[in-house]
Structure 1
Amino acid sequence: MYYVAAVLTVLAGLFYAAGNSELGSWGRDMCQYGSTFCDNPFYVLVGAILAAVWGRFVSIR
């Protein structure tokens, strides 16, 4: 689950950069399909936090 949290964190960064037009044409294409996440990359970051918390929860011994 930590891997999922890491991937979601990277995706949140990419969506943030794409939303601020820092990735050029690739970011424009990315925002065409994921406009909600480009406008609010915090949603993806919240998913990453929840995945990390869930991973921590299920790995408690």
Structure 2
Amino acid sequence: MYFAAVVLAVLSGLFYAASHHEIGSFGITMCQYGSPFCDNPLLVFVGACLAALWGAFVSVR
């Protein structure tokens, strides 16, 4: 679950950079297909936080 949290956190950063036109033509393509996430990358970051919390909750040590 931590892997999913890290992937979502990286995607959140990419969507943030794409929404501010910082990663060139790749950002334009990202925002074309994932426009809700470019408009509000906080949604993806909240998903990453929830995945990390869930991973911490269900981990057995």
Q: TM-score, normalised by structure 1?
A: 0.96
Residues matched between the structures, number = 61
Q: Is residue 2:40 matched to residue 1:40?
A: yes
Could you list the structure 1 runs, at least 4 aligned residues long, displaced by more than 6 angstroms after superposition. none
Secondary structure in structure 2 of the residue aligned to 1:30: helix
- Measured after TM superposition, the shift of residue 23 of structure 1 is 0.8
How far apart, CA to CA, are the structure 2 residues paired with 1:14 and 1:49?
A: 16
Superposed CA RMSD: 0.8
How high is the TM-score relative to the length of structure 2? 0.96
Unpaired segments of 5 or more residues in structure 1? none
Q: Identity over the aligned pairs, expressed in percent?
A: 67
Q: Which runs of 5+ in 2 are unaligned?
A: none
